[in-house]
Amino acid sequence: MKTDSIFYRIFQTTPNTFFELIGESDPRISTYAFGSQEIKETSFRLDGIFLPPLRLTGFPIYFVEAQAYPDRKGENFYARFFGEIHLYLKDYQPVNPWKAVVIFTEKRFDPGIPHHYSEYENNPRLQRIYLNKLPPEVGDRSLGLGMLQLLGMSQNQAPAKGRSLIARTRQELTDVTNQRNFIELIETIFVYKFPKLNFQEVGEMLGLGDLKQTRAYQEAEQAGEEKTLTKMVPKLLKRGLTVEQIAEDLEVSVETIQRFVPQK
């Protein structure tokens, strides 16, 4: 499970959490739609974008980036993020103003803005948020903010916070489906934060028992299967096996194997 996908699932489940996080309280924010947007010419995709309805032309588009690890291979993600934003503005030419929000789980993961983009250093167009630096009381304002704060907590602090959030979820949400969705998000956060623990251990930590029937377990199992097939299918094809034979040997469908056949 990629950490940024956890952020986006939280925002899809409870979009108001994002606006609570950035301190925006206008009641009309409830009309924003959250999703991803492809940049036409490059096939890049902005994974986090809040779009206001067409009638609110004075309300900004929010471009959102989540960062839960240091830059890899020396790539400064600010350059990529700003590049994607400007390509989006060129392609779609929206009438709305825009803002960029970067959410770091920890302040140490912020690589600093490159000198090419120094005009954003103290620019209100860019807002940077460090979850591990949020005041403790922020997480008490809503379940969504509590989950975001949980992402920035140390492993020592997280178990008590996770159990508290689950108890709050059961108290505050009367709709069974919403309650289950929130608890599954908390479970998923813990699977990410404690990768060395098995699902039974994570479930016991949260007071939920074995998690093998949960969405978090199923997603992790699927990710592991896809990683294995990505490596195995090309090798078995080179050895002369057909797609049908590989599917039979691995006990999966032919359609599944076809997804991992290298494109010529």
Per the domain annotation, does 75 fall within a domain?
yes
Q: Which two tokens stand for residue 252?
A: 């999966």
253 lies in the same domain as 146? no
Q: Which two tokens stand for residue 143?
A: 């379940």
Going by C-alpha positions, the residue among 80, 90, 92, 88 that lies closest to residue 117 is 80
35 lies in the same domain as 123? yes
42 lies in the same domain as 143? yes
Q: How many domains does the chain have?
A: 2
Q: How many CB atoms lie within 10 A of CB 171?
A: 9
Which of residues 129, 152, 175 is at a domain's end?
152
Q: Which domain holds residue 230?
A: 219-258
What pLDDT tens digit does each residue of the chain (264 aa) get? 455 688 988 998 899 999 999 999 999 999 999 988 877 665 566 779 999 999 999 999 999 999 888 876 556 789 889 999 999 999 999 999 999 999 999 999 999 999 999 999 999 999 999 999 999 899 999 999 999 999 999 999 999 999 999 999 999 999 998 998 898 899 888 888 888 877 788 888 888 875 555 555 555 556 656 667 787 788 778 877 788 878 877 777 887 788 788 875
Which of residues 100, 123, 152 is at a domain's end?
152
143 lies in the same domain as 234? no
Which of residues 152, 181, 208 is at a domain's end?
152
Per the domain annotation, does 127 fall within a domain?
yes
- pTM exceeds 0.85: no
Per the domain annotation, does 179 fall within a domain?
no
To 10 degrees, what angle do helices 143-151 and 176-193 make?
Answer: 10
Per the domain annotation, does 112 fall within a domain?
yes
Per the domain annotation, does 167 fall within a domain?
no
Per the domain annotation, does 67 fall within a domain?
yes
Per the domain annotation, does 213 fall within a domain?
no
Q: What is the pLDDT of residue 105?
A: 94
224 lies in the same domain as 147? no
Helix (H) or strand (E) holding 65: strand 61-67
Per the domain annotation, does 121 fall within a domain?
yes
Name the region of 44 (left: φ>0; alpha: ψ -120 to 50; beta: rest): beta
**How long is the chain?**
264
Bridge-partner residues for 103, per DSSP?
66, 129
Residues 18 and 63 sit within 8 Å (Cβ to Cβ): no
Q: How far is CA 224 from the centre of its chain?
A: 18
What phi and psi values does residue 168 have, to the nearest 5 degrees? -65, -40
148 lies in the same domain as 224? no
